Amino acid sequence: MPITTSDHPPLPLPLPQLPEWAAFVAAAKAASIRVNDLRLVTAAGLQLDLSGQSQSPAMSACAKALLNTRHFDSLRTQLLAGQVANATENRAAWHTALREPAPIDEVAAERRRMNEFVRLADSERRWRNIVHIGIGGSDWGVRLAVSAFGYQGMWRNVRFVANIDGHAIAGGLAGLDPRDTLIVLASKSFTTAETLQNGQRAVEWLRAAGVANPMGQVVAITARPEVARAWGVPDAHIFKLWDWVGGRFSVWSSVSLTTSLAVGSEVVAGMLAGAAAMDAHFAQAPAAENAPIQMAMAGIVNRSVLGYGSLNIAPYDFRLANLVPYIQQLEMESLGKSTGLDGQPASVPTGPAVWGMPGTDAQHTFFQWLHQGSDGAPVDFIVCQEAEHDWPEHHKSLLANCLAQREALLRGKTYETALDECVAEGMPMDRARWLARHRVHTGGRPSNLIVLPSLTPYTLGSLLALYEHKVFVQAVVWGINPFDQWGVEYGKVLAKGIMKELSADNAAENRASHHDASTAHWVKAFAKSLGV
């Protein structure tokens, strides 16, 4: 069990009240991207190149002072020791305990149960089909690992169903043999409407196919085993996670049962080891060489000093397509807050919108906006030095594209260079002057380059933990709680109310009385089309 304590550092003051913040902002404004200075940090098998970020010795000194005044060291210690880090829900956020090389007994016991379940299923060649039902943190991490390591195909068919849209579960079950299908329900709370409704449909599908014991083909992973039990899942099929593991951090728990069934328990073990190595780096490396800290401070400059509203994630690796939504949830559910821990409005812009797509697809989709749009966005380029396929020409092109896009964003192209090019192409001078303006790249657009030696479970685990810790550092500086998600909860409550209004047993005259005009209109219209 995590240790709890009321021994918190004082509530963080709004940033503008801190001289350390004013000094950091001034230093960041005076700093610049120094294209001729290489700035590399190595961490847990990854190389983080920060050369594309503003830097100066003054900025580093001010960052250190800012972290000190935010009690960063003691907050990091509390986080890693499983003390209360999530103040608004009064609980720990102890996902790091799940990847400790020598985990606490209850974690080790659950992992043994999971591995044994997989070993047995594999030795009996059971469960040709797996339907993993879960959403958000109960989905993205597993999807990411399975697509990263199972992209060449797996002997099991693995389907993911998250969305409440009935087409998702219809497609998820279509064509599968119900007798050899395992339904994995992943839900920390076991109250999530999407997961329970989709789970219900899957059980009905098993029953309709004449499966004698449908619940014998259902597995649940949850922090509320009693609710799963009441739902009918047999004890032997309930795998536990804990209240002190946030939903968006649950990839490190038995939620990864599906990963093990799909691509092997050794993949899960490798991811845990990589994440543990990043945890150790985060805990021990001095600030100037600490990858999560350095990445976090660069992100704070980009968001809160330079005013960039978004962060683009560009994995130059087809296998990492699902990294984008994974990081989206991690960053935006964690940092999408505008109330500080002191209960006052956060006084500087906090977490950016996160978006992206693997390169090189992204180059043909939205990179034009990154290069020449009026806003631009910092970009995290992520690439593997070695590829696993047999076509070195492809990998050479991928690497070249990644470096080229980053360099173009960094260095830009001046009017003079563009004009010289136009003239060299033989254009008349008038046209050359006019066209050159269209070919100018502002440049100076910030980026990170994260280089993995190759994509392995270890490096993927390390990469995910890098982002987790970066998010934590940013939350400490911004003075917000990265571990709650009250905004999402509010939408869930409203949806429940509207569900009732769309139900036949609700009196029509009570319907929609408290809504805004538009919602009221559509509740009535949809009730009509639903025949209510």
The reply on whether position 189 binds ligand F6P by CB under 6 A is yes
Contacts (CB under 6 A) with ligand F6P, residues 393-452: none
Identify the burial level of 283 via C-beta atoms within 10 angstroms of its C-beta, where 0-12 means exposed, 13-18 middle and 19 or more buried. Answer: middle
DSSP 8-state class, residue 231: H
For helices 193-208 and 166-173, the axis angle rounded to 10 degrees is: 40
* Stretch of residues binding ligand F6P (CB under 6 A), selected from 64-72, 150-158, 182-190, 362-370: 182-190
- Give the number of other Cβ atoms within 10 Å of residue 285's Cβ: 18
Contacts (CB under 6 A) with ligand F6P, residues 327-386: 333
Half-sphere exposure of 119 (CA within 13 A, CB side): 7
The reply on whether position 45 binds ligand F6P by CB under 6 A is no
Active site residue 492: yes
- Identified catalytic residue from 492, 496, 500, 521: 492
Q: Please, which residue, 187 or 294, has the CB nearer to ligand F6P? A: 187
Identify the burial level of 280 via C-beta atoms within 10 angstroms of its C-beta, where 0-12 means exposed, 13-18 middle and 19 or more buried. Answer: middle
Q: Please, which residue, 137 or 376, has the CB nearer to ligand F6P? A: 137
Out of 78, 147, 181, 187, name the contact with ligand F6P by CB under 6 A.
Answer: 187
DSSP 8-state class, residue 151: T
What single letter denotes the amino acid at residue 91? R
Distance CA 66, CA 69 (A): 5
Out of 40, 488, 508, 530, name the contact with ligand F6P by CB under 6 A.
Answer: 488
The residue whose two tokens read 């569900």 is 499
Out of 78, 198, 312, 485, name the contact with ligand F6P by CB under 6 A.
Answer: 485
- Identified catalytic residue from 364, 396, 496, 521: 364
* Stretch of residues binding ligand F6P (CB under 6 A), selected from 148-156, 181-189, 340-348, 510-518: 181-189
The reply on whether position 135 binds ligand F6P by CB under 6 A is yes
Joined together, the tokens standing for residue 122 give 């594999």
Joined together, the tokens standing for residue 119 give 């070993």
The reply on whether position 192 binds ligand F6P by CB under 6 A is yes
Chain centroid to CA 64 = 27
Active site residue 333: yes
Q: Please, which residue, 55 or 334, has the CB nearer to ligand F6P? A: 334
The reply on whether position 163 binds ligand F6P by CB under 6 A is no
- Number of residues counted as binding ligand F6P (CB under 6 A): 14
What single letter denotes the amino acid at residue 196? L
Contacts (CB under 6 A) with ligand F6P, residues 193-252: 195, 247-248
Strand partners, 451: 47, 383
Distance CA 352, CA 344 (A): 20
Contacts (CB under 6 A) with ligand F6P, residues 265-324: none
Task: Write out the residues near ligand F6P by the rule CB under 6 A.
Answer: 135-138, 187-189, 192, 195, 247-248, 333, 485, 488
The residues annotated with a catalytic role in the active site are 333, 364, 492
